[in-house]
C-alpha cells in the first residue's frame, strides 16, 4: 500500500538554485568580490559580527552586506548607519535565502564599491546548508549561551562550513559551554574547519577572525 504514496524529491529545486548560484558566483568573480555566507541560529550575533568586522577592517577591503530576514529591516538599518552599502531581503516567512534572492540583491548593490560581501542568511541551521548562493566561503556563527551540543543536533552544517565563529565568549564563566569538548567534536566532523572564538561585546578575538578572513580572501 505504501507504494502508492507519491514522493516528490526536492532535488530539481536545488539544481535550479545551484544554476543561479553559479551565475551569482560568476558575476562576483568578474567584479573581484569575495562573498561570505553567514549562517546561525537567531540571536547568535550575525549582524553584530558584521558590524564589528566593518569596524575592524576600517574600509580595507570595502564591505557590502546582504541582510536576509524573515521580515523587518532593523538589521539593515544598523548596517546602513555604519555607511556600508546594504540591501535587505525579506523572505516573507521563508526560512533560508535562495540564489535568486541574492541575484536580485546584487542588482541593487554598488558592486564597483565592494570587495568583500557578507550575506547574512536567515537565522536557521537546517535548510540554509542546502542552498548555495554563489558565496566563496561558508561561515557558521554560534554563541556561548546556545550551549556546545549543536554538533550533535545539527551535524550537517558543521561538515560544510569553512569556519565556525563562537560569539559571546565573555559569557563563558556563566554558561555551560565546554569549549575543548566542542572543538574535539567539531574537528571530528570537519578536520579542516577553523574555529574562531570571540566576543563582539568586548572585541576579544575579533582580530584573529579578521586575520583569517583576509587570509582566506587572498588565497581564493
Ligand atoms: Mg541579524
Ligand atoms: Zn528553509
Give the per-residue pLDDT at 212: 98
Give the distance (Å) from ligand 1 centre to CA of residue 50: 9
Helix 206-218 crosses helix 46-57 at what angle (to 10 degrees)?
80
DSSP structure string for 140-187:
EEEEGGG-S-HHHH-HHHHHH-SEEEEE-GGGGGGS---HHHHHHHHH
| CA-atom Rg of the chain in angstroms | 18
Write out pLDDT tens, residues 32-69: 999 999 999 999 999 999 999 999 999 999 999 999 98
Question: What is the distance between the alpha carbons of residues 62 and 85, in angstroms, rounded to a whole number?
Answer: 10
The answer for residues whose C-beta is within 8 angstroms of residue 160's C-beta and 6 or more apart is 129, 138
Q: Where are the domains of the chain?
A: 2-219
In this prediction, the residues of the chain whose per-residue pLDDT falls under 70 are 1-3, 7-11
Give the per-residue pLDDT at 62: 98
The ligand minimizing its distance to the Cα of 47 is 1
Give the per-residue pLDDT at 1: 52
CATH (one of 3.40.50.300, 3.40.50.450, 3.30.160.150, 1.10.10.10) for 2-219? 3.40.50.300
The ligand minimizing its distance to the Cα of 93 is 2
Give the per-residue pLDDT at 137: 98
Amino acid at each position: 500500500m505504501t507504494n502508492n504514496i507519491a514522493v516528490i524529491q526536492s532535488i530539481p529545486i536545488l539544481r535550479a538554485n545551484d544554476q543561479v548560484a553559479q551565475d551569482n558566483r560568476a558575476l562576483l568573480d568578474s567584479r573581484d568580490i569575495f562573498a561570505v555566507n553567514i549562517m546561525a541560529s537567531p540571536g547568535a550575533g550575525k549582524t553584530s559580527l558584521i558590524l564589528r568586522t566593518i569596524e575592524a577592517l576600517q574600509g580595507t577591503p570595502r564591505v557590502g552586506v546582504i541582510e536576509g530576514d524573515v521580515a523587518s529591516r532593523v538589521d539593515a538599518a544598523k548596517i546602513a548607519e555604519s555607511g556600508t552599502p546594504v540591501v535587505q531581503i525579506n523572505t516573507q516567512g521563508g526560512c533560508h535565502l535562495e540564489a535568486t534572492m541574492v541575484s536580485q540583491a546584487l542588482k541593487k548593490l554598488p558592486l564597483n564599491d565592494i570587495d568583500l560581501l557578507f550575506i547574512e542568511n536567515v537565522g536557521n541551521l537546517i535548510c540554509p546548508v542546502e542552498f548555495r548562493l554563489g558565496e566563496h566561503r561558508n561561515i557558521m556563527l554560534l554563541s556561548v549561551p546556545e550551549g556546545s551540543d549543536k554538533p550533535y543536533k545539527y551535524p550537517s552544517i558543521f561538515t560544510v562550513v569553512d569556519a565556525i565563529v563562537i560569539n559571546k565568549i565573555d559569557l563563558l564563566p556563566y554558561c555551560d559551554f565546554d569549549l575543548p569538548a566542542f572543538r574535539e567534536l567539531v574537528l571530528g566532523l570537519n578536520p579542516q574547519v577553523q574555529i574562531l572564538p570571540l566576543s563582539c561585546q568586548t572585541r576579544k578575538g575579533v582580530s584573529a577572525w579578521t586575520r583569517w578572513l583576509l587570509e582566506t580572501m587572498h588565497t581564493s
